[in-house]
Structure 1
């Protein structure tokens, strides 16, 4: 049985984080990025103080999750947007569940009020992950993304912390 460790990200993890995200940027709809981001581009997120976690399987980073400010206006200060990414070879391994089980209590402990997740639709696995953690679909933005020659809907999922 593999050993799974969920922990805070370190600068040493950023190459593996960037590699997971690069695949999603190039091949999937889970992010609307279309270009690879170098590992250094993740440094500012590491330094914000918002939760940023990795899931290690047998010492190798296989997933990550983080919270980010929803918008830059002051009245949104108690809201965070959450994101979870799991390496394509680790899907179905419940790493997303493990990451959220660590991330969401941190947001509550920080006194945050609302977590939002924006999910490109359709994406049954991500929807199921979020609903299993209490997120509810609160709206759908129609055809707001244009990636891989396809217009993509985005579901807005909300969890009251």
Structure 2
């Protein structure tokens, strides 16, 4: 299956599996979203040591993958302290019970200084290509509202909106809705 790839910048950006050496940069990137946005419902920043089990739960094969985008030209970060990592996409367990094993939940985080370069699309294209040979039937994504950019990204990759949980999370002193998207694999 072909996935939409942005027309510009693909020669400058490399997408590869995440490795343990990425842990500090990935933690820094995620912590930006923890501290500054309602995109994630985590409320306290993590240390790299606390995030290590998450990283190790994404091997290079199987249904739970981690794909990382880096700037191939500069080798340096874009200002968030992410040391060259422009973003990441991951698939993980949808729910813990065994019958859910063929479903995954996906996520994408892009360095806020690297937005608008098509990095989210490159990451999702790489992630879904990596998952294409796995025994995975459905992908789900939870998107805190409002988030039009994420809604557009998921629509481009064949996700459809299947429902919204109203005021399901409280962060920064207010309640947030979460829209759920589903994609057959």
TM-score by length of 2: 0.83
Question: Of Structure 1 and Structure 2, which has the larger fraction of its residues in helix?
Answer: 1
Written as runs of structure 1 = structure 2, the 5 A alignment for 1:125-136 is: 125-136=149-160
Q: How many pairs align?
A: 161
Deviations 1:21-44 (A, max 9, x none): 111000111100111111123322
Return the alpha-carbon distance in structure 1 between the equivalents of residues 132 and 167 of structure 2: 32
Task: Say whether residues 1:158 and 2:182 are aligned partners.
Answer: yes
RMSD: 1.2
Residue matched to 1:56: 70
SS of 1:99's equivalent in the other structure is: helix
Unaligned runs of 5+ in 2: 1-8, 76-83
Residue matched to 1:142: 166
Which structure exhibits the higher relative contact order, with contacts defined as CA atoms closer than 8 Å and separated by 6 or more residues?
2
2:114 to 90, 111, 132: 90
Task: Say whether residues 1:7 and 2:9 are aligned partners.
Answer: no
Question: Of Structure 1 and Structure 2, which has the larger fraction of its residues in strand?
Answer: 1
SS of 1:109's equivalent in the other structure is: coil
Task: Say whether residues 1:70 and 2:94 are aligned partners.
Answer: yes
